[in-house]
Amino acid sequence: MGLRSPHSPHSPHGAHSPHSPHSKDHLLGTLDLLVLRVLVGGSTLHGYAITARIVTTSRETLQVEEGSLYPALHRMEEAGWVRSTWGLSENKRRARFYTITARGRRHLADIEEAWTKHVDAVTRVLRHA
């Protein structure tokens, strides 16, 4: 999958097995959540910078694979959640820079609420099972 934790061979992102048809959708939703959250601060970032921010902020617990990030960014752009423009990166290479849109902010609020409910439910089970 595109989003993984290097500290565990099992995905921490859902109760489904890695081969479950629901697992991929759940991981894609998690990647959307992380990318949109990184962009919501008003930053305009290229893909590598988005990945670096996720890795750094998660204290290297989460890794984002390029093979998953760029299709996700393309899908999010098609959905109207992000907008991209071409520019030059810090090392003077041509790159796409991404910005969250108003529709993306609304979507982020929805998926943050759903993720919070999910985490709260898992936490309750861990504490009381």
In-domain check, residue 86: yes
Domain harbouring 97, CATH code: 1.10.10.10
Domain that holds residue 89: 43-115
pTM of the predicted model, to two decimals? 0.78
State whether the Cα torsion 117-121-126-127 is positive or negative. positive
24 assigned to some structural domain: no
Strand partners, 87: 95
- Does residue 18 or residue 44 have the better pLDDT? 44
Q: Please name the residue that has the structure tokens 């489904």.
A: 16
**Percent composition of the chain: helix, strand, coil (DSSP 3-state, to 5):** 55, 15, 30
Quick: pLDDT tens for 30-57.
Answer: 999 999 999 998 889 999 999 999 999 9
As for how many domains the chain has, the answer is: 1
Find the range with the poorest average confidence among 2-11, 71-80, 114-123: 2-11
Question: Is position 49 within any domain?
Answer: yes
